[in-house]
Structure 1
Amino acid sequence: MSESDVSAIISEVEAQEAELVLPSFTHDQAWRLGSLLVELAVERDLPVTIDIRKGTQQVFHAARPGTTPDNDSWVQRKVAVVYRFGASSYLVGLRAKAKGTDFNATHGLPFQEYSAHGGAFPVRVTDVGIVGVVTVSGLAQQDDHALVVEALRELVEAQPLV
């Protein structure tokens, strides 16, 4: 992937993060988002683990056939990146790649605790900020990220503006 490709993807992901902001985020909305992700995964026969956090509470978790406990480890490490850096795990990893640096080495973070690979996306609420994280693990990182964006976009579009 060329530098210009990475720059273009960074711009696209930054735009997604600016666009996908909710007026609120309740437990019921988390359930709807998780259920939507499961529906998409079932329709496409995707081997993914889906996880949604509201604050530090895990409010939704599902694992499809083809996943293993290792996917849960990936989820946890991606979530840690979102909460620490305030951006999607994919964006954080792309920014490191654009600088030609190793994310974990640059920040002195152990790989077994932090993973800047795509799939964890911050749940932002207007005038509040990050209130949770939605994560998918099991596909290539850009596909994990894209699945989350697709479902989150549908949830955002379905919510009335407040």
Structure 2
Amino acid sequence: MSLGIPELEFQHRELQLPAAGLAETWRLGSLIVATALERNLPVAVDIRHGEQLAFHAALPGTSADNDDWIRRKAAVVRRFGEASYLVGERHRAKGRTFDLDPARYAAHGGSFPLLVRGTGMVGTVTVSGLPQLEDHLLVTECLARYLAEQ
């Protein structure tokens, strides 16, 4: 399974929160962790509000390597303003290699911009520990569930 660029762009337009202060980021992070625990998924979860670390959890089966992946995937989101998976898919669709420094950037799925409707990007929400598409799907599923509960 893969997601096409139009579907990824749709997610970018639709998965925007009404607000994203520290309380909201805590609730979103807690939802992602609860979902991962229910499914016994070995993931690390990281939410940044601007440059502030607003939420971080490392579940059993993760390591410091996951934190490095989080840092590099979130750097792609901060640079391009779009999901790390979408950035990677755009490069792959054009037959190009993502050529930014791999020690700093990873255009792999799992990081999504923390978007506030009418404001834009205020941070990042990132998951690491699963194959890239599964990381991306966990984030977007939980964002959609969070929005449905609002």
Q: TM-score, normalised by structure 1?
A: 0.90
CA distance in 1, matches of 2:52, 2:75: 13
Question: What letter is aligned with 1:143?
Answer: E
The answer to whether 1:145 aligns with 2:136 is yes
Greater share of helix: 1
CA distance in 2, matches of 1:22, 1:34: 14
Which residue pairs with 1:42 in the alignment?
A: 37
Shift of 1:156: 1.5
Shift of 1:17: 0.9
The answer to whether 1:79 aligns with 2:74 is yes
The answer to whether 1:156 aligns with 2:147 is yes
CA distance in 1, matches of 2:68, 2:120: 25
The answer to whether 1:12 aligns with 2:7 is yes
Q: How does 1:72-151 map to 2 (within 5 A)?
A: 72-104=67-99, 109-151=100-142
Over the aligned positions, Cα root-mean-square deviation in angstroms equals 1.2
CA distance in 2, matches of 1:125, 1:74: 24
SS in 2 for 1:66: coil
Which residue pairs with 1:70 in the alignment?
A: 65
CA distance in 2, matches of 1:54, 1:153: 19
Q: TM-score, normalised by structure 2?
A: 0.96
Q: Which runs of 5+ in 1 are unaligned?
A: none
What is the percent sequence identity of the aligned residues?
A: 55
Question: What letter is aligned with 2:21?
Answer: T
CA distance in 2, matches of 1:103, 1:67: 26
SS in 1 for 2:115: strand
Structure 1 residue ranges, 4+ long, deviating more than 4 angstroms after superposition: none
Say which one has the larger Rg: 1
The answer to whether 1:23 aligns with 2:41 is no
Question: What letter is aligned with 2:147?
Answer: V
Cα deviation per residue 1:16-59 (whole Å; 9 max; x = unaligned)?
11111111111111001110011011100000000000001111
CA distance in 2, matches of 1:91, 1:56: 22
Question: What letter is aligned with 1:71?
Answer: N
